[in-house]
Amino acid sequence: MTEPPQGDGPEKHFAPDVIATKRDHQRLSDEQIDWVVDAYTRDVVAPEQMSALAMAILLNGMDREEIARWTHAMIASGERMDFSGLSWPTADKHSTGGVGDKITLPLAPLVAACGVAVPQLSGRGLGHTGGTLDKLESIPGWNASLSNEAMMAQLDDVGAVICAAGSGLAPADKKLYALRDVTGTVEAIPLIASSIMSKKIAEGTGALVLDVKVGSGAFMKREDQARELAETMVELGTDAGVTTVALITAMSTPLGLTAGNAVEVAESVEVLAGGGPADVVELTLALAREMLTAAGKTDIDPAEALADGRAMDVWRRMIAAQGGDPDAPLPEARESHVVTAPSGGTLTHLDALGVGVAAWRLGAGRSRPGESVQAGAGVVLHAKPGDLVQDGAPLMTLHTDEPARFDRAMEALDGAFTVEPDARAESSPASVVIERIG
Ligand code: URA
């Protein structure tokens, strides 16, 4: 690989030629990739040109070398962080996004309680998928923005930080992601892989565990797509010297019993207190074991740190270090509406996408960039697939500050659950983890 171009000078390429190369199913050269990513970051390549190229990439793909070069160019668009001065080994986790996916909240303090520091740069909600920062901001006083120095000091002292990525990290991705979001080009495997891995490699973590979601509530709807995405990202991380593994995990029904902001924080605290829904506990422990192993700690059982309260202690210190009050009551929405079972039987289907869109429309997510979210909005489930329910029993409760939002949320739930009179309850629900790659 040659190094990306340095400094200013006459433009080396012509955007329409780069677009036509990919449109005509050709490989992009290293020089074309370096130039187009850099020139887009500098506003030399126009958004309409980049969106045409993103669509050509979505339709015609990129090979592994092109993806690696594209990732490299996105990393080179900004700063790189360095945690090598810390006295702890580091490991991070990244999820490709799902409904009710609050795992980062119990996971970061749990892994820190086992002796591995977690520098978790997180994002806000995107479409129907919730954002870790939006969830944590429902805790009174909690602050998502830390300077690099404050982040490093907290990592050294507490061992866990969850905060917003600074604007200097992979700025090309920030611009390109916002463009993809509004041009129907989010679901391209090369673009998702390079987007995630550019941020994670630039962040400088020593080890990385990827949670690649598959199912209706995920960007990847099919297992073969999820496997290709996972393999691509593991290869990118490994080539960059980051110990990287991926778990492919189920996202056809929501994780746990909550989707929203404060309701997900409350459920995470239950997990840290030794309780919580079985699927959330299973995935938290599976990811913790992978992170500890990837960071070289093979002899520690994270289940003990969850059971004996050490993870809870780190959570409380982590929240307090960022101005939050771990004892403050969480905000509650002003209005609620209970959705009941239309008949008695087994709940055989509860669609992650339907629940995610309902939570979004209730005010847990944004309909326009920069909008504020409602801390108390969301969905609390009273039954999961496989559960027996009685006719008229509560299936879920919808929460919002604005009752006018209930109708649109209910539309999202139309066809999103099925109660079958003759079906039998599953005795043991299937594991959330489908496959391990790496
Ligand atoms: N998350 C990211 O950071 N980027 C993507 O492209 C998709 C999910």
Average confidence (pLDDT) over 16-27: 98
Please tell me the predicted confidence (pLDDT) of residue 6: 45
Over the stretch 189-209, which tens digit does the pLDDT of each residue have?
999 999 999 999 999 999 999
192 CA closest ligand 1 atom index: 6
Catalytic residue numbers? 94, 173, 180, 195, 199
Task: Write down the residue that tokens 């820190």 correspond to.
Answer: 112
**Rounded to two decimals, what is the model's pTM?**
0.92
Characterize the bridge pairing of strands 417-420 and 345-350: antiparallel
Please tell me the predicted confidence (pLDDT) of residue 166: 82
Model confidence band, residue 426 (pLDDT cutoffs 50, 70, 90): low
Question: Residue 396 and residue 412: Cα distance in Å, rounded?
Answer: 13
Please tell me the predicted confidence (pLDDT) of residue 369: 67
Average confidence (pLDDT) over 294-323: 97
- If one residue of 185, 219, 225, 232 were mutated to test the ligand 1 pocket, choosing by the most ligand atoms within 8 A of its CB, it would be 219
Please tell me the predicted confidence (pLDDT) of residue 425: 52
CA nearest ligand 1 atom 8, residue? 96
CA nearest ligand 1 atom 6, residue? 192
- If one residue of 104, 126, 194 were mutated to test the ligand 1 pocket, choosing by the most ligand atoms within 8 A of its CB, it would be 126
186 CA closest ligand 1 atom index: 6
Pick the range with the lowest mean pLDDT from 9-13, 211-215, 247-251, 396-400. Answer: 9-13
CA distances from 137 to 19, 111, 324, 330, 373 (A): 41, 22, 9, 10, 10
Contacts of 428 (CB under 8 A, 6+ apart): none
Q: Is 214 helix (H, G, I), strand (E, B) or coil?
A: strand
Ligand 1: which residues within 6 Å by Cβ?
96-97, 177, 191-192, 195-196
Please tell me the predicted confidence (pLDDT) of residue 341: 97
DSSP 142: -
Domains and CATH numbers, the chain: 15-61 (no CATH), 92-167+184-193+200-321 (3.40.1030.10), 335-420 (3.90.1170.30)
Mean pLDDT of the chain: 93
Over the stretch 31-43, which tens digit does the pLDDT of each residue have?
999 999 999 999 9
Question: Residue 97 and residue 167: Cα distance in Å, rounded?
Answer: 21
Please tell me the predicted confidence (pLDDT) of residue 9: 60
Residue 51 has pLDDT above 90, yes or no: yes
Over the stretch 100-150, which tens digit does the pLDDT of each residue have?
999 999 999 999 999 999 999 987 776 777 789 999 999 999 999 999 899
Please tell me the predicted confidence (pLDDT) of residue 155: 96
